[in-house]
Structure formats: C-alpha cells, structure tokens
Structure 1
Amino acid sequence: MELHDPYRAPATFPVPPALPRTLPETGVRAQPISEAAAYYSPSSMKLVVLSLTTLGLYVVYWFWRNWQAIQRETGGTQWPWARALFSPLWAYLCFRELRDAASNRRRDLAFAPGLLAVTYFLLNLAARLPNAGWLLALFVFVPLLPVNSLLRRYHQDERVDTGRMDRFGALHILVAVVGGLFLLLLFVAMFLTNGGR
C-alpha cells in the first residue's frame, strides 16, 4: 500500500515540444524569431528616401527609436525624445552604444563612432550655409548608414525579424511622394533663381 506524502511535488506530465512552423506556400521551415534586442534598422533605401523627402526629420525618428531600444536594453534613465531632438549632441553616445551592442556578435563598425558623430554634427551645421551650401544638410543620413548596416547584420545574426522595419507603409509612400515633389519644386525654384542672374 502506497502512502500519500503531502510534501511531495505533484506529478506533472511532460509537455511535448512545439511543432516547427512551416510556411504554408512553400512547406519550408520558418526561422525562429529571436528574443534579441531589436534596434531600429530599416533598409538603406528606406532610410535614404525618407531622410531626403522629410528634409532630415526621419533621421531624428531613427535616433528616437534607437534611443528607446537602448533604454529598454540598459534600463537607463535617458529621455529618448530629448536625445533624438538634440541628436547632433548625443550622436556619439548613440553610435557607441549601438556599436557595443553589435560587438557581442563580433561585428565591427566600419568607422569610428567619433568620426561618424563629427560628420553628423557638421552636416547639421551645413543647414546654416549661405546660397546652395545648405544642400549639404540633405545628406545628414550618410553617417547613419554604417551604423544602420551594422545593426542589420546584428539582426541577421540574431535572427530578428526586420520585415516590418523594411516595409513602406501607406504613410511612408505618401510622405515620400509629397516630400519628393516639394524637394523637386525647391530645386526648380533654385535653378530658375540662379539661372535668371
């Protein structure tokens, strides 16, 4: 006769492992989605197009999203919106934090964070240049490209799903079209003004 032990843990049934998900149309196994940190790294084309057509405002959004991810990962007390708004002053710290996050996977940033930050700062200052010199400020996204590329390789290694970041939604397309037309009109007006002299 078996005695009941009240202090013994209850018996549990083993839980079978989850079946692998397959893609319905191909029958191929889907890659597991990682729980690694998801930093904001849209495709290079999306970063370039939206940066140009928003006259650099998308770059501020890029910083805001990445400062949010850094805050999530480090548990810091930084204010992502303030650091994004004043991104020329905080760019070095952002680039360094993102480089350090990716270096865990033995990925290296192509350029030093300090060099990228100085370039970003100078391109922001270029907006104050006279005549057509302010056009240099349109290329404010260039120092972000190596960091963004590093984050994309990090996401690839960690199997983070970046499809949502890469997609152009309806709002993105609207901004690109309206901003592109505005930019085109701006160039035409500058050409006509300088051609009339």
Structure 2
Amino acid sequence: MLEEKLSITNQNIEPQYIISLNKFIFLSVITFGLYSIWWFYKAWRFFQEKENTDIMPAMRTIFGIFFLIRLFSKIIDFAKAMNYQKNYSPNLLFIGYLLTILLSYLPEPYGLISISGFGWFIKPFKALNYAKLNDSGYEVILQDRFNTRQIFLIVVGSIWWLLILASIAIILSQQNEYIAY
C-alpha cells in the first residue's frame, strides 16, 4: 500500500538532473554564487513535488535567508531516510553562510571572498544527490556534460569575471601610480 502511494506521488516529479560536486563548485564560482541560488530553487521545487505541497519554491528562494535552515533540515532528513551516513547541522551551515555573505561588505577586492558562500551548500548538495540516487521512486539523470543553459552561464560569468579582474587591475595600477609620485 505504501509503495503504491509512493509511486503515484512520485509520478508528478520531473526528472532529477544531478551534476557532480566539481560542476556545482565551478558553476557557483563562475556565476558569483548565483548558481547556488538556482540550486536552492530546484531543491525546494523537488520537495514541493515530492511532498505534493503548495509551497512556492520561487518565494522560498527570493526570501531564502528565512528558509535556508528548513531546506537544509529537509535535505538531511530525506538523506537519512535513504541511509545516508554523514551528518551536518543546518543551523551551523546557515550561520556560516550568513557570515560569508556579510563579507561582501569588505572593500574590494576582499569582498570577493563572499563568493565562497556556496561552500556552505556542499554538504546539503551531496546529501540531496545521495538521497535522489538511492530512492528508486524518481527518474534520476546524471548530467556528465554542461547543458546549453549552463554553457550560457559560463560564457556570461567568464565575461563578468574578466571585467571584474580588469577593473581590479586598473585600480591597483592607479594606486601604484599615486605611490610612485
């Protein structure tokens, strides 16, 4: 009876595309952390479909700071149900993420340290991938290549990075000119 409910419920879940941790890190860095926000949305979307609830993933992403602990908790609970052996504290991950994001207020170029905020998503990212891969109720597709949207993000992010690095180089060269005089 329970298996029938799971299969009926899970029919409404879109295929789950899973990328490697290295791709997640690369996409997060190249997009200045914006890919992490996309992952946040996709995780909420997954739980909306999985639990057949009326939550609004977009709103939970926009107001993510208020829902991050809850998402991390849902992920670890789901992963533990799939015999995930590792653990993490949703509260500590949230605090770490919040503190890292606050580093963006440092003067340039030190504010770029805040891009590392995606690092606090790594444990939940691994746990969610594990759970999806070990739950037979979902169609899981391992994405070994970048899709068109990801390539677009890489191109735009690369241009953005080049502009940022060029502006830093210009600022530093101007500072050196002032020092020389």
TM range (shorter): 0.7 to 0.9
CA distance in 2, matches of 1:98, 1:85: 19
Alignment counterpart, residue 80 of structure 1, candidates 53, 57, 68: 57
Say how many residue pairs are matched: 162
TM-score by length of 2: 0.77
- In the alignment, structure 2 segments of 5+ residues that lack a partner are 1-9, 176-181
Residues 76-104 of structure 1: per-residue CA shift (max 9 Å, x gap): 33221011112222111000001101111
2:135 counterpart letter in structure 1:
E
1:6-155 matched pairs, under 5 angstroms: 41-155=18-132
8 Å CA contact retained: 1:40, 1:62? no
Q: RMSD value over aligned CA atoms?
A: 2.4
Q: Secondary structure at the match of 1:143?
A: helix
1:43 Cα deviation (Å)?
1.6
Residue 161 of structure 1 aligns with which residue?
140
1:163 counterpart letter in structure 2:
L
Q: Percent identity?
A: 24
Q: Secondary structure at the match of 1:150?
A: helix
1:53 counterpart letter in structure 2:
I
Higher relative contact order (CA 8 A, sep 6+): 2
1:124 Cα deviation (Å)?
2.2
Q: Secondary structure at the match of 2:118?
A: coil
Are 1:196 and 2:174 counterparts? yes
**Rg: which structure is higher?**
1
Greater mean deviation of Cα atoms: 143-152 or 180-189: 180-189
1:73 Cα deviation (Å)?
2.2
TM-score by length of 1: 0.71
Greater mean deviation of Cα atoms: 145-154 or 71-80: 71-80
